Amino acid sequence: MTSTTPLSEYLAEMRRDIEDALARAVALSTAPPIISQAMRYSLLSGGKRLRPCLTLTAAEATGAPLGTAAAEARLLALPAAVAVEMIHSYSLVHDDLPAMDNDGLRRGRPTSHVVHGDGLAILAGDGLLTEAFGVIAASPPVTSRADAPLAPAPRRLRAITTLAAAAGAAGMVGGQAIDLAAAGRIPGQTVPNSDAALEEMHARKTGALIRAAATTGAILAGAADDVIRAVDDYARDLGLAFQIIDDVLDSEGSNSTLGKTAGKDAAAGKPTYVARYGAAESRRLAADCVARANASLERVGLGGRLSEIAEWSLTRRS
């Protein structure tokens, strides 16, 4: 698609490629049907697919200066895009459990544990997390194209390392632990009521995977280290902006608009940007994040669709 194509159409094309790749990845699994069906229920339930779109867009943007065609860059990054979405889906399955956020609605339909029970939901999440690393290692393949390019093994290893760090205890898992403590769900554990603590929680719980989504795309496209660092800086600020707007939408939206339970963070007594600063100031802080994100791109001569995605994060409604 040309650079003049509206962002909505560009992302819709990306999502079609991602949906096909996700379906192929789980269809080729040799898992027993009982767990495969539970994994498919959450993985193939739609959604914005922001993170895998970011992976493909980052690959496209950073591959272009190297002479890599857009279609080839996307194919190089597609295994990482699928892996990122598998990990994101696993995190949602586990976040919704009664022991975590205890939510019954996700992407407009009952959550996994409501449909399959707690035990199978936990196992489905475990399966998605573990299978993700097999996919990024290129087994099973996520495209039917026999001539699809495959990133060199050192790039794939670096992408796996990056994604594992983002998903693990220092990243998303650690952020969820802080979130539980902040909500008073861990006996004897508290979280400081400070700006720094709030930002750290979001940087780990939401921001870490968004950063990994973008940087793995750049890594697999073969970008230089300074470009990868700039993309990482961009995605760090994008991730924070995204979470701040999530807090605003949680306070202002409805179940039907969001596709999940609105107002649950406030009801649970969780610290949020809206609770701390109010909606108007929160939106201003998010705009500051996007300005910093775009400045990081400009540092290495990037922008385009990555900048558009950052700007879109401020105006989204779900």
- Model confidence pLDDT, tens digit, residues 53-109: 999 999 999 999 999 999 999 999 999 999 999 999 999 999 999 999 999 999 889
Percent of the chain with pLDDT over 70: 94
Q: Is residue 155 part of a domain?
A: no
Q: CA-to-CA distance for 128 and 269, rounded, in angstroms?
A: 30
Q: What is the dihedral of CA 56, 132, 175, 295, to 10 degrees?
A: -10
Q: What is the pLDDT, as a whole number, of residue 87?
A: 98
Q: Which residue has the tokens 């994060």?
A: 313
Whether 90 is covered by a domain: the verdict is: yes
Mean pLDDT of 297-305: 95
Query: 139-164 pLDDT, tens per residue?
Result: 767 888 888 889 999 999 999 999 99
| Chain segment 13-28, per-residue pLDDT in tens | 999 999 999 999 988 7
The answer as to whether 270 is a domain residue is yes
Please give the full DSSP string across 237-289, using - where no structure is assigned: HHHHHHHHHHHHHHHH--HHHHSS-TTHHHHTT---HHHHH-HHHHHHHHHHH
Structural domain containing residue 121: 7-143+163-315
Domain assignment present for residue 242? The answer is yes
Dist. CA 104–CA 94, nearest whole Å: 12
Q: What's the pLDDT score for residue 140?
A: 66
Mean pLDDT of the chain: 92
The verdict on residue 150 lying in a domain is no
Within a domain: 148: no
Please state, in angstroms and as integers, the Cα–Cα distance from residue 58 to each residue in 28, 173, 303, following that order.
Answer: 27, 24, 10
Q: How many whole angstroms separate alpha carbon 116 and alpha carbon 40?
A: 12
Q: Is residue 156 part of a domain?
A: no
* pLDDT bucket at 271, cuts 50 / 70 / 90: confident
CATH assignment of the domain containing 211:
1.10.600.10
Judge whether 152 lies within some domain. no
Question: Angle at the Cα of 212 (from 7 to 44), degrees rounded to 5?
Answer: 65
Q: What is the pTM of this model?
A: 0.94
Total domains in the chain come to: 1
